[in-house]
């Protein structure tokens, strides 16, 4: 297939496909293969697919860090790209698959070939370009991006990965238990009942057991579905932020103090010092924006649980999915900055970096965070 990269001797990501599907984070991988396995017979899945091409609709899409042997694959200098992986056999991922990068040379021809004569390659190209614009693939950001781009997609596609659900479980449990306490203060089997509802809330499909939450929020069934999605979004972003914040202080300390090597003149030194200071300021501004948005949610939640105002909280939940654009883009950019830095400079490793390389990294980070770049 034109433009495809063979997995057996080139693409390590594709070679580790089975591991990727099991352990990948929600923000890094959009696992359409697992969505297909769960919902392929559902009417909404069939009528509102992510892609019109059946092959693309059973792919894995990931935000991929560009390796040294891939430099030049994309038209611009980037440290990350959007990779599409097409498994050779969806029932046995160990045998790998083929991949292409969105915006690599000839990628539109690849999509056209995959879609075939009776599909809609332009629509699928539009979806891929929309994903490529995003800093991460978390479902709340992706859903709002598709809404902005006028793409109608089934809600089955916007779920948190099993790997992240396992890690989120204890983090979000306290908030959910507080709300359950508001709705059923005299429940006897509290612990096991709470655990079942926590698991159900974080999973793709909710059941009847979650109805006490709907009662507490005083929402009709249609509004409740949207409200639960919004609530999961804020829980997800709270969890991601709690993991991200401890990484930012050492990152800033290191990038501000790292020594440089190689030829440099005063002008380059001045540019690097100014770029480092701008980056540090930008990181703090973006972090404050994220914290501020989450505080608005926390205030509304406290209004419900402490002051008994369910309508205020439920109205907030119905109004706020658009906040996911800000949260998803900002948290995605901060995660990219912190994770790429730690990938390039493992903790505890002290080294001098060529001036031009450090300047390039700092400028890329600035650009990712919406600064000068």
Domain count, the chain: 3
Q: Would residue 235 count as lying in a domain?
A: no
Asked if residue 238 is part of any domain, the answer here is no
308, 264: one domain:
yes
Task: Indicate whether 203 belongs to any domain.
Answer: yes
What is the pLDDT at residue 9? 40
- pLDDT per residue as tens digits for the range 212-262: 677 767 777 777 777 778 888 888 899 999 989 999 999 999 999 988 887
Same domain for 202 and 258: no
Which among 358, 354, 287 has a CA at the least distance from the CA of 326? 287
Q: Are residues 194 and 269 in the same domain?
A: no
Residue 353's DSSP bridge partners are 260
Domain presence at residue 373:
no
Six-digit token pair at 201? 């809330």
* Residue 197 structural domain: 162-217
230, part of any domain: no
Segment (H or E) for 60: strand 60-65
pLDDT digits (tens, 9 = 90+) for 259-286: 888 777 888 889 999 999 999 999 999 9
Quick check: helix, strand or coil at residue 203? coil
Same domain assignment for residues 268 and 192: no
Q: Between helices 221-257 and 190-202, what is the axis angle to 10°?
A: 80
Residue 77 CB-half CA count within 13 A: 8
Residue 232, in any domain of the structure: no
Contact of 60 with 32, CB cutoff 8 Å: yes
pLDDT tens readout for residues 24-43: 577 888 989 889 988 999 99
- Helix, strand, or coil (residue 176): helix
Quote the CA–CA distance of 89 and 86 in Å, as a whole number.
9
- If asked whether residues 35 and 127 sit together in one domain, one would say yes
Instruction: Give the residue-averaged pLDDT of 149-167.
Output: 86
Kindly indicate the confidence band of residue 191, based on its pLDDT and cuts at 50, 70 and 90. low
Q: Are strands 260-261 and 29-31 parallel, antiparallel or unpaired?
A: unpaired
* Residue 249 and residue 359 in one domain: yes
Q: Which of 116-120, 204-208, 247-251 has the highest mean pLDDT?
A: 247-251
Backbone angles phi, psi at 64, to 5 degrees: -120, 130
Residue 203 and residue 261 in one domain: no
Indicate the range of 115-129, 309-323, 331-345 predicted with least confidence.
Answer: 309-323
Higher-confidence residue: 336 or 172? 336
DSSP state, residue 67: P
């Amino acid at each position: 297939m034109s433009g495809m990269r063979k997995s057996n001797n080139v693409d390590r990501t594709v070679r580790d496909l089975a591991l990727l599907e099991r352990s990948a984070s929600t923000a890094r991988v959009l696992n359409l293969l697992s969505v297909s396995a769960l919902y392929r017979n559902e009417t909404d899945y069939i009528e509102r697919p992510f892609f019109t091409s059946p092959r693309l609709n059973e792919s894995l899409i990931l935000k991929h860090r560009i390796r040294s042997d891939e430099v030049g694959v994309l038209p611009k200098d980037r440290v990350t790209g959007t990779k599409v992986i097409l498994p050779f056999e969806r029932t046995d991922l160990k045998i790998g698959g083929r991949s292409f990068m969105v915006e690599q040379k000839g990628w539109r021809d690849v999509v056209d070939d995959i879609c075939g004569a009776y599909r809609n390659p332009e629509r699928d190209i539009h979806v891929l370009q929309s994903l490529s614009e995003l800093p991460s693939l978390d479902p709340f950001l992706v859903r709002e991006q598709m809404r902005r781009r006028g793409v109608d997609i089934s809600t089955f596609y916007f779920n948190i990965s099993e790997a992240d659900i396992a890690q989120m479980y204890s983090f979000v449990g306290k908030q959910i238990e507080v709300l359950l306490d508001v709705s059923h203060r005299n429940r006897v089997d509290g612990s096991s009942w709470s655990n079942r509802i926590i698991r159900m809330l974080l999973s793709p499909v909710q059941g009847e057991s979650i109805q006490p939450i709907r009662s507490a929020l005083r929402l009709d069934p249609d509004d409740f579905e949207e409200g639960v999605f919004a609530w999961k979004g804020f829980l997800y972003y709270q969890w991601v932020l709690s993991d991200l914040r401890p990484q930012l202080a050492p990152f800033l300390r290191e990038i501000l103090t790292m020594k440089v090597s190689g030829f440099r003149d005063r002008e380059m030194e001045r540019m690097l010092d100014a770029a480092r200071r701008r980056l540090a300021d930008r990181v703090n501004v973006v972090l404050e924006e994220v914290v501020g948005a989450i505080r608005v949610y926390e205030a509304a939640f406290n209004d419900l649980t402490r002051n008994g105002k369910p309508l205020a909280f439920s109205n907030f939940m119905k109004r706020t999915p658009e906040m996911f654009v800000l949260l998803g883009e900002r948290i995605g950019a901060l995660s990219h900055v912190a994770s790429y830095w730690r990938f390039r400079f493992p903790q505890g490793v002290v080294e001098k970096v060529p001036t031009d390389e450090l300047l390039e990294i700092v400028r890329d980070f600035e650009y990712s965070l919406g600064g000068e770049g």
